[in-house]
Amino acid sequence: MSSTLKKKRNDLITTIKRHQEAYYSKDQPKISDEAYDQLVAELFSLDHELNIPRSSTEKTLGVGHKKRDEFFSVEHSTPMLSLDNAFSFDELDLFFKRVTDFIKKNRIDFVPKYSAEIKLDGVAVSLTYMDGELKTAATRGDGLVGEDITDNVKSMNGVPEVLNLKSKNKSNITYFENSIIEIRGEVIFSKKDFERFNKYQERASEKLFSNPRNAAAGSLRQLDAAITKSRPLTFIVHGVGKTSGSITDDLITHSSFLELMESVGFKIIRPRIKNGHPNIIKDYINQILNIRESLPVEIDGIVVKIENYELQSMLGSTVRAPRFAIAYKLPSETAITEVIGIDIQVGRFGTLTPVARLKTVSIGGVNISNATLHNEDELRKKGVKIGDRVEVRRAGDVIPEVVRTVNTSIRKSDNSLSFEIPKFCPSCGGKTERLEGEVARRCISGKKCPAQFEQAFVHFVSKKAMNIDGLGTKLIQQLIRENLVNALDDIYNLKYFQLEKLDRFGAKSAQNLISSIDKSRVTTPAKLLYALGIRHVGLQTAKAICDALTCFEELFSLAPEKLALIDDIGPVVMFSVSSFFETRENLELTKRLLNEVSFKKEVFNKKGVFAGKNIVFTGTLRTLKRALAQELVQKNGGTCSGIITKKTDLCVAGEKAGSKAREAQKMKIKVIAEEEFLAMIDKNI
């Protein structure tokens, strides 16, 4: 082993150990999970090059610090969405009003009732049961694909492996027979279990955790299921995902579902409200605020949901969150500290964000040294100056922000310095502008701005986009600095000898990166569209758009009115997508990328009833959820689209079918009802 490589390996181990201590021992992570995983991957790659056994390195790093990629993937049957937030009763009233307005607009003879329950600060997990037996458990992951943790949750407190119904009226055997039900909930440490666990860790001279949520997350990511099972974790049910079979008939309201789950061995959280109206919900929130500290679990809010599942289905979801539920966020913990400087960060879309550099302070067990000031209006409104003492909180318990200045009346002019948002970009020196109606000032140089190009590059190679392993921020900065990449597609022209010459980059690391780049050449249209970094286009929005296309190139000249026909695509997204491809540089970049990548081919049932046919759904389906109906089409050889085109073969019209059905009739495309669609499926089984 050469002295250079030995030093490189020792330095890498020291860095990893430091981040392990920050995350696992102190619960003060300094880097993201992805950045940590890249460091470990680099170490294993170096060990392979030096013929050092992997088991030896694993022993050095300790148990529980392995890559999440080593778990098997589980694709969620329906996305595990997040929740929109309300931070005041006024914002909660807006949620209630939206529900009421929807009911009136659609002339629904229904008085909405609401449930309310504690929002647990844990780790989201889904459990899938078939015929009453646990088959799969998965983490949320990115909402679409999670990690298989089935072995880890078996025997966990609150997770029955077989569902035994205690009701006298129904048979234990037949009730769940031929049924699939996906149970969603939160894995937590109770406060008492967490305290007891930490004492055990201390006696065993093992690492201590600073809060229950981090302890739960660290326990679930163990690749050795025996370690997870040795820890006092508990699963609490809070919702339902995909269902089929006889069980579906009994799922009428959210509260009745929770009570059914409790009767078959699951745990639910109390106190909670069922069938309440807005004033009762607010009283409950005030009650929880008063008893928050005495609760046996850590919480970060209250979840308010429509009780009735049929009304939930009518309200539907956006690509990010359901419209039938909202999280009322409880006040975050705050702390007082001093502003020692203010920097400007330039984001992926050119947004200039003022960030306060702080004297380090601990909030909720996490060390905070930087906090956002959001924009120039907020900076001016809060009157923050360098040298001020400020109140800081973790907004939504995640993003640190400055709430207000403290004791400005005694501010000394000699130690408080004013700060103004620059009129020119601190990265490229280019002009900035603030459009009417926007709060953000932006650099208008686009990817010509080094900061924006760097952030665009980081996004392009990220896991949800092109998923190129081994390309961290520091390496991307070095590639840009060495003039090896000047556009996103340049990544596909990198040569082995160019990478090998980079700082802290060996022959094996260079080969691994080239392999990872080549692997990314096979992707999906949605991932490529998302990777382009179009403003307002997330992965699920990209998927919705691509599902409506006959080919990717259709985007280059796709009329806004066709985009408007796609579910959940509003005018803001329409303008953003259209503007992106109207720009010559973006269009040429996309065309070059299409020459570098290929799309995965879907394998269809060539003998299915919909073989080779393109199907469009419109309106509300009574029997099936839209996602399940589309899945049935694909399993029977067909494809689904969100818009009517000359390539559409069949339009399935549910209740309140709109313009798509009329457009199909005009184009003489066959339109059938849901019942006929189901009959076609049944006939083919």
CB 307 within 8 A of CB 274: yes
CB 253 within 8 A of CB 259: no
Tokens representing 382 are 């809060």
Dist. CA 649–CA 610, nearest whole Å: 9
- Closest by CA to 121, choosing from 296, 321, 306, 307, is 296
- Residue 185, strand partner residues: 125, 237
Give the C-alpha distances (Å, rounded to integers) separating 110 from 27, 103, 315: 47, 7, 13
CB 145 within 8 A of CB 74: yes
Pairing of strands 85-86, 234-244: unpaired
Phi-psi sector, 578: left (phi>0), alpha (psi -120 to 50), beta:
alpha
Task: Name 197's Cβ contacts closer than 8 Å, sequence gap at least 6.
Answer: 189, 209, 215, 231, 232
Dist. CA 112–CA 276, nearest whole Å: 9
Q: Which of 8, 66, 119, 207 is catalytic?
A: 119
CB 597 within 8 A of CB 521: yes
Eight-class DSSP state of 332: P
Name the H helices within 558-624.
560-564, 571-582, 584-596
- The structure tokens 């490229």 sit at 428
Around 105, how many Cα atoms within 13 Å sit in the side-chain half-sphere?
9
591 is catalytic: no
Dist. CA 160–CA 181, nearest whole Å: 13
Dist. CA 124–CA 83, nearest whole Å: 12
Dist. CA 561–CA 657, nearest whole Å: 18
Would you call 538 helix, strand, or coil by DSSP?
A: coil
CB 630 within 8 A of CB 640: yes
CB 16 within 8 A of CB 61: yes
Task: Name 158's Cβ contacts closer than 8 Å, sequence gap at least 6.
Answer: 185, 234, 235, 236, 237, 266, 267
CB 302 within 8 A of CB 91: no
Would you call 244 helix, strand, or coil by DSSP?
A: strand
User: Is the sign of the CA dihedral 84, 349, 34, 127 positive or negative?
Assistant: positive
239 phi, psi to nearest 5 deg = -170, 180
Task: Name 173's Cβ contacts closer than 8 Å, sequence gap at least 6.
Answer: none
Task: Name 45's Cβ contacts closer than 8 Å, sequence gap at least 6.
Answer: 506, 508, 509, 512
- Residue 240, strand partner residues: 183
Pairing of strands 522-523, 598-599: parallel
Dist. CA 73–CA 397, nearest whole Å: 28
What distance, in Å, lies between the first and last C-alpha atoms of the chain?
Answer: 63
Would you call 673 helix, strand, or coil by DSSP?
A: strand
Q: Any idea which residues carry the catalytic annotation?
A: 119
